[in-house]
Structure 1
Amino acid sequence: MPPQRLITHLRHVDLAVPDYQTQLDFYTNAWGLKAEHSDSGLTFLAAEGSPEQYVVRLRESGDKRIDLISFGAKDSADVDTLAGQLAADGVQLVSEPGTLHTPGGGYGFRFFDNEGRTVEISAHVGVREHRAIEEGESIPVRLSHVVINSPDPEGTQAFYEKHLGFALSDTLMHPRMGNMMFFMRINPWHHSLAIARGPHPSLHHASFEMRGIDEYMRGTGRLLRAGVEKIWGPGRHLAGNNTFTYFLDPSGNTMEYTTELDVLDEDAWHPHVYDFTQPEVSDQWGTANAMNEFLAAKSFNDPDKGLFVAPPV
C-alpha cells in the first residue's frame, strides 16, 4: 500500500522574473495559458482544462526565482496536521495555517524545504470553471509536474518522502556519475515532482499536459514555427512513458509539453533504475535530437535567488 499522505496533488508553480511583460506575452500568446486575476506586476495563469485556479503565477521582480511550489490537501484538518508535524520536526514555517488571499481563497500555510524553496499546502480552494480541451486544440490541459535541480538530490528526496509522503517511482542513473534524477509521486501519476542532480538549487523544468499525441505534436510545431528555442524533443521517455519537447522561455526557464504520463498501480509498482546512457531510456522513439552536456546545462538554470527568502505575496 502507498504511505499515508496528507497532500493530494500538484497545484501550481509560481515564478518571479525580471522581464515580466515579455514572459507574460510568452505564456499567454505562445504557450497557451490564460491570464486571469492580473494586478500590477502580478498575473495568475490558468490552464483552460484544469480545475485549478491557476497553474503558473508570474511576479515581476529584480531577482529570478521560484516563488513557491504549491500542493493540495484534502481538507483543513489535514493542513493543520501537516503544519504541526513539520513544525515538530524542526521544519521552518513561513506562515501558520490560515485563510489564503489568492484566487479561489482556501486555507493553507507555507514552509521552507531542506534547500530553502518555499512550499505551500492548501485545501478548500475554489474550483475554477474549466472546459474539455477539444480535438486538435494545442494548449495545456493541466500542469503535469515540476522538476527541481538540487546539489543534494538524495537529501531532497529524503525530505519530501519523510515530511510530505512522496514515494519514489523511478531513478535515472549514469555509470560514472551515479544517480542523477529521482521521480517522485504523491498520487498514482508517475511523478508530480522530480529531483535532478544539479550544481545549485533552481528550476529544472515545469511540464504541461496536452490533450493527446496529436495536440502535443501540434503544440510542438506551433512553438517551432513561432521561433521559440527548442532544447530537446520531440520524443518519448522510458521513465513515466510520457512524451517530451522542451523549450526555453524568455527568462531561460525550461518548459515542457508532454502527454500520456503513466498512471501507476501503486500496490504493484516497484521502482526501476534506468541507465540513461542507453538511448531508449531517454527517448524510446529515437526521434529527439541527441542530448549532450551543452543541452543538459541549459536546464541547470540560474541559481535560485529566493532560497530561505519568502516571496512578498
Structure 2
Amino acid sequence: MRHRPITHLRHVGLAVPGYRRAVEFYRGLWGLEVVAEDSGVAFLGTPADPEQYVLRLRQDDRKRLDLIAFAARSAADVDLLAGRLGRAGVRLEREPGPLDTPGGGHGLRFFDLDGRLVEVSAGVAGRPFRELEERESIPRRLSHVVLNSTDVVATKAFYERHLGFLLSDWLAEQICFLRSGPEHHVLAISRGPHASLNHVSFELRGLEEYMRGSGRLMRAGHRPLWGPGRHGPGDNTFTYFADPAGNVMEYTTELARIEDDEAWRPRRFGTTPEELDQWGTAGLLTDAMIPAMYNDPDEGLWRPSPV
C-alpha cells in the first residue's frame, strides 16, 4: 500500500520586492487578512479557514517561491516521511522538529526534484473560523498550486513516489493534475522553460462570490490575464490576475471531487478552446497569460528559506 501522508495544502510562501505593496494587494483587494507580521514577514489567512495562514509574504530584493507547505495526518507520519525521504536520497533541509511559525506544530523541510523547498507538518494549532456569508467575495481557502518544470513526468513521479499523490488528469502532455484527497487537484505540474511558480489558486464560496471577487479586481484596474471561464480538467472556474510582483494568482470555485480512488481512471484532455474553457467566455490564452504563467526562473532553488 502506497504511503499517503498528505491531507491538504496548508500555505505558500513567497519572497517579494515591494513588500508593503504586496501586503496591501492581498489584504485590500484579494480579501485576505494579516494574522501576524514581524520584521518584513506577513502571514495572511482567511476567516473561513482554520489554517493559521494560507499565504506568507517575505521582503526580499528578488522574488522567489520560498516554500510550499502541506499538512500531514500526524507527527508520526512526518517522522516516517523523513525516514523514507532520507533512505531515498532526497535532500532534507530541516529534520523533523518543532515549528516556530504561527500555530507551531511538528514538521520537516526538504527539496523536491527541481530544488523547490517543501514543508510537511502536523499538529499545527487551528484558529477560530466561520462560514462565509452569501455574496462575501473573499477567499474561503487555498485551493491549489501549479509549478513549472522542464520535466513534468519526472517531477510528477517524485510527488507520487514520496508524498503519495495520485494522478487525476492530464491536459495534453502539458500539465498533470495531482490529488492528495477528494479534491481533483491540490498540486499540478506544468511544462515550462524553467523551474518556477506557475500560479496559486484561491477558492471562493460559490459562483456568485467568484464573479463578485473577479469584478472587484477588475474595477480596481487589474485586468484579468485570462478569464472568467470554466476549465475542462477539474471543471473549476478561473480568473487569473497578476500580483504586484508578477506572480499569477487565481480565483476559482466548484473544483471537482473524486470520491472513489479505485474507480477513477485519469483522463487526457486536449487543448481545444472548448476543453480549455467550457463556457467560451475567457477567450483564447492571451499573450499576457502565457509569459506570466511561465514566470521568471526561480532564484530560490536549492536554497533554504530564511523563515
**Aligned partner of 1:274 among 269, 273, 278:** 269
1:191 counterpart letter in structure 2 = H
Alpha-carbon distance, 1:296 to partner: 1.3
Aligned-residue sequence identity (percent) comes to: 57
Within a 5 Å distance, the mapping from 1:77-92 to structure 2 comes to 77-92=76-91
SS where residue 299 of structure 1 aligns? helix
Alpha-carbon distance, 1:84 to partner: 0.5
In the alignment, is residue 236 of structure 1 matched against residue 236 of structure 2?
Answer: no
Within a 5 Å distance, the mapping from 1:39-78 to structure 2 comes to 39-78=38-77
Alpha-carbon distance, 1:292 to partner: 4.2
Could you tell me whether the CA contact under 8 Å between 1:47 and 1:143 is conserved in 2? no
Within a 5 Å distance, the mapping from 1:292-311 to structure 2 comes to 292=286, 294-311=288-305
Query: Structure 2, unaligned stretches of length 5 or more?
Result: none
Within a 5 Å distance, the mapping from 1:163-242 to structure 2 comes to 163-173=162-172, 179-242=173-236
- Distance in 2, matches of 1:120 and 1:127, equals 17
- Distance in 1, matches of 2:195 and 2:211, equals 31
| Backbone CA RMSD of aligned residues | 1.0
- Distance in 2, matches of 1:299 and 1:281, equals 19
SS where residue 116 of structure 1 aligns? coil
Alpha-carbon distance, 1:294 to partner: 4.8
Within a 5 Å distance, the mapping from 1:147-162 to structure 2 comes to 147-162=146-161
Task: Provide the residue aligned with 2:138 in structure 1.
Answer: 139
Could you tell me whether the CA contact under 8 Å between 2:141 and 2:204 is conserved in 1? yes
Task: Provide the residue aligned with 1:23 in structure 2.
Answer: 22
Normalised by the size of structure 1, how large is the TM-score? 0.96
Task: Provide the residue aligned with 1:261 in structure 2.
Answer: 255
In the alignment, is residue 109 of structure 1 matched against residue 103 of structure 2?
Answer: no
Could you tell me whether the CA contact under 8 Å between 1:145 and 1:191 is conserved in 2? yes
Query: Structure 1, unaligned stretches of length 5 or more?
Result: 174-178
In the alignment, is residue 251 of structure 1 matched against residue 250 of structure 2?
Answer: no
Could you tell me whether the CA contact under 8 Å between 1:274 and 1:281 is conserved in 2? yes
Runs of 4+ displaced beyond 4 Å: none
In the alignment, is residue 312 of structure 1 matched against residue 292 of structure 2?
Answer: no
SS where residue 22 of structure 2 aligns? helix
1:291 counterpart letter in structure 2 = L
1:68 counterpart letter in structure 2 = L
Aligned residues, how many?
A: 306
Could you tell me whether the CA contact under 8 Å between 2:3 and 2:163 is conserved in 1? no
- Distance in 2, matches of 1:3 and 1:98, equals 24
Task: Provide the residue aligned with 1:176 in structure 2.
Answer: none
- Distance in 1, matches of 2:27 and 2:290, equals 26
Could you tell me whether the CA contact under 8 Å between 2:225 and 2:286 is conserved in 1? no
Report the more deviating stretch, 198-207 or 290-299.
290-299
Alpha-carbon distance, 1:267 to partner: 2.4
- Distance in 2, matches of 1:125 and 1:208, equals 21
Alpha-carbon distance, 1:74 to partner: 1.0
Could you tell me whether the CA contact under 8 Å between 1:114 and 1:159 is conserved in 2? yes
- Distance in 2, matches of 1:282 and 1:5, equals 30
- Distance in 1, matches of 2:84 and 2:230, equals 39
